């Protein structure tokens, strides 16, 4: 099959996003490639499509065991043959999967870098790998924002398996890209940078005014109250609230719950079972909001996150890009609201006190750089894209500087918001179908099907696909299969149920 055929006939999408086709062509020609594409830019398709088109097995190095099952379930849901090898498997299950890999039963094999050091690497010995995809490749660089030492042991993969390497990341600066190429021993790689401009993300920032501070336009004196108003105005929508410390995560989650928000805390100090329960509740739409430290995010692949709120300033521009990029991955409008202060910068400086001097200075400068970006009163998308080497014209309509967006002022006061609590607020620029009764019916159907199959709701269809259904109202199979995201496997599994509801109106 050609890449176009796989895109349309397996995934149900009519065209490639920027950068995808260039990456796919390179790896299918056997060339190493570095793909720097924004979160939500469709990175997974750049190895999933070659996996089907090339034959053989594609190894996907993924950083989190918690994410692998979702990645495999999502691939299987569109008809790809995928599995994972990690420490969560019993000995018998692991043995069966290894035998399946060696028989050629799978197109995609997911493994963690730690696993490749141990049994997974040995299990793949003798297997013909068509491609090795290294996801979240910035983790290999100590100059990246999420360095993981185990990634350094991936250096020998190319020589070991003789397959092209595809390194993928959403947040690598040119300096980090150079380090990725060196650490993975890539040979003359093609470098592809997708556009970092995502017009569906509406960026805004507010200075947190301390007690006794002089008033300033755009500053907020009650951050907690502002966040409550924002969330009440988005009742029923999925969102993430990021906090600097575990203590602030717990206090913020407790406060929101006491005000009627279905919120859960998530941080590294919780035991693994509690973190997993919170993550599963969020993925399955049993909780609307996760209040988290940066420990949460890389393990989530939820495309219908409608808002990301930073209670505290992120530690770097790269971290900010990664975190806001978790909103709106389905392409539907989503809000990203940042609250920041110089006190946040000082807080990050304390966290670097035990690092080597050079690395500590580097991290301190990253925090100051983030503060300067937040303070800017020019186009936020333009400034963010420039950080990754892309020159962009002002967005015009997707940030507070260009369009005068003020989501805190636009949110009703708490009493008024509570009066309408429970209705799904679509946001000021959301498609009209987002608030329609039909869209709500489609969401309820999706939730019931997902609960019956014990999978996250977005694995049935994402919000963008439901919005298209609500807008187009197809009445037959041909019409429904023209909706982006309705491939043959999704049609076979869910098509009749959704078509029946659409015919009812």
pLDDT (tens digit per residue) in 244-287 = 999 999 999 999 999 999 999 999 899 989 988 998 899 889 99
C-beta of residue 312 within 8 angstroms of C-beta of residue 344:
yes
**Residue 211 in this model has a pLDDT that exceeds 70:** no
Q: Which two three-digit tokens encode residue 433?
A: 């179908």
Both structure tokens of 145: 């924002």
Q: Determine what percent of the chain is predicted with pLDDT higher than 90.
A: 59
Radius of gyration of the chain (CA): 22
Q: How far apart are CA 322 and CA 311, in angstroms?
A: 16
Q: What is the mean pLDDT of residues 157-162?
A: 87
Q: What is the mean pLDDT of residues 299-327?
A: 90
pLDDT of residue 215: 57
Show the beta-strand stretches assigned E in 37-139: 57-61, 82-85, 108-111, 129-134
Question: Which tokens sit at 412?
Answer: 């009703």
Residue 117 reports pLDDT greater than 70: no
Convert the pLDDT of each residue in 473-504 to its tens digit: 999 999 999 999 999 999 999 999 999 999 99
- For residue range 340-363, list pLDDT tens digits in order: 999 999 988 888 888 888 888 988
3-state helix, strand, coil in the chain (%, to 5): 45, 15, 40
- Tokens representing 364 are 């301190």
Token representation of residue 483: 């909706």
Angle between helices 317-324 and 357-375 (to 10 degrees): 60
| pTM for the model | 0.82
Task: Indicate if the pLDDT at residue 129 is higher than 60.
Answer: yes
Please, how many CA atoms are within 13 Å of residue 467, restricted to the half-sphere of its CB? Answer: 17
| CA gap 54, 334 in Å, rounded | 36
pLDDT score, position 312 = 96
Residue 128: Cβ within 10 Å count: 12
Confidence of residue 170 (pLDDT cuts 50, 70, 90): confident
CB 17 within 8 A of CB 194: yes
Burial of 325 (0-12, 13-18, 19+ CB in 10 A): buried
Q: Which of 175, 437, 210 is nearest to 339 (CA)?
A: 210
Mean pLDDT of the chain: 88
**Distance in angstroms (rounded) separating the CA atoms of residues 401 and 483:** 35
pLDDT of 430:
44
Reported confidence tier of residue 427, pLDDT bands at 50, 70, 90: very low
Residue-level pLDDT at 298 = 60
Q: For residue 428, what pLDDT is reported?
A: 40
What residues does 307 pair with on adjacent strands?
A: 239, 335
Q: What percent of the chain has pLDDT over 70?
A: 92
Reduced 3-state DSSP string for 368-393? HHHHHHHHCCCCHHHHHHHHCCCCCC
pLDDT at 138: 87
Alpha carbon 110 to its chain centroid, in Å, reads 18
For 38, 81, 302, the CA distances from 43, given in Å and listed in that order, are: 8, 18, 14
The order of strands in the sheet holding 289-292 is 219-220, 201-208, 334-340, 305-310, 238-242, 289-292, 263-266
Is 119:85 a contact under the CB 8 Å cutoff?
Answer: yes
Going by C-beta distance under 8 Å and a sequence separation of 6 or more, which residues neighbour residue 158? 32, 132, 164, 165, 184, 185, 186, 187
Higher pLDDT, 44 or 149: 44
Instruction: Tell me how far apart the alpha carbons of residues 61 and 236 are, in angstroms, rounded to a whole number.
Output: 34
Confidence of residue 461 (pLDDT cuts 50, 70, 90): very high
């Amino acid at each position: 099959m050609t890449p176009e055929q796989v895109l349309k006939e397996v995934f149900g999408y009519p065209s490639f996003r920027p950068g995808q086709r260039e990456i796919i062509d390179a790896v299918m020609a056997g060339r190493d490639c570095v793909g720097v594409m924004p979160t939500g830019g469709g990175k997974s398709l750049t190895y999933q499509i070659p996996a089907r088109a090339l034959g053989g097995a594609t190894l996907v190095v993924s950083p989190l065991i918690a994410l692998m099952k979702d990645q495999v379930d999502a691939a299987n849901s569109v008809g790809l043959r995928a599995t994972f090898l990690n420490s969560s498997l019993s000995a018998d299950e692991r043995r069966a999967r290894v035998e399946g890999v060696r028989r050629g039963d799978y197109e995609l094999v997911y493994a963690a870098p730690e696993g490749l050091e141990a049994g997974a690497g040995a299990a793949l010995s003798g297997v013909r790998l068509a491609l090795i995809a290294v996801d979240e490749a910035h983790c290999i660089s100590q100059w990246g924002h999420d360095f993981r030492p185990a990634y350094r042991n991936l250096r020998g993969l190319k020589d070991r398996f003789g397959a092209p390497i595809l390194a993928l990341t959403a947040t690598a600066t040119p300096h980090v890209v150079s380090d990725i190429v060196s650490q993975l021993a890539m040979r003359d790689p093609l470098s592809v940078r997708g556009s970092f401009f995502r017009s569906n993300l509406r960026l805004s920032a507010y200075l947190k005014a301390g007690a006794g501070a002089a008033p300033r336009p755009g500053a907020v004196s009650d951050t907690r109250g502002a966040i409550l108003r924002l969330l009440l105005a988005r009742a029923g929508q999925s969102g993430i609230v990021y906090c600097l410390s575990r203590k602030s995560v717990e206090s913020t989650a407790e406060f929101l719950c006491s005000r009627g928000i279905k919120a859960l805390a998530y941080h590294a100090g919780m035991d693994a079972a509690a973190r997993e329960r919170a993550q599963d509740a969020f993925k399955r739409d049993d909780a609307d909001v996760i209040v988290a430290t940066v420990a949460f995010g890389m393990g989530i692949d939820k495309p219908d996150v409608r808002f990301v709120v930073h209670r505290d300033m992120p530690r770097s521009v790269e971290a900010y890009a990664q975190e806001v990029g978790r909103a709106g991955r389905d392409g539907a409008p989503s809000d990203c609201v940042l609250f920041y202060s110089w006190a946040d910068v000082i807080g990050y400086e304390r966290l670097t006190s035990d690092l080597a001097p050079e690395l500590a200075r580097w991290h301190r400068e990253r925090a100051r750089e983030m503060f300067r970006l937040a303070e800017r009163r020019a186009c936020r998308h333009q400034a963010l894209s420039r950080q990754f080497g892309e020159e962009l014209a002002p967005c015009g309509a997707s940030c507070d500087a260009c369009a005068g967006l003020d989501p805190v002022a636009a949110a009703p006061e708490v009493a008024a918001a509570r009066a309408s609590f429970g209705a799904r607020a679509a946001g000021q620029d959301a498609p009209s179908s987002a608030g329609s009764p039909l869209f709500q019916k489609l969401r309820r159907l999706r939730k019931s099907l997902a609960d019956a199959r014990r999978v996250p709701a977005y694995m049935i269809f994402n919000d963008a696909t439901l919005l298209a259904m609500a807008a187009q109202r197809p009445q037959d199979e041909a019409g429904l299969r023209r909706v982006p995201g309705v491939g043959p496997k999704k049609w076979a599994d869910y098509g009749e149920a959704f078509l029946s509801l659409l015919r009812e109106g």
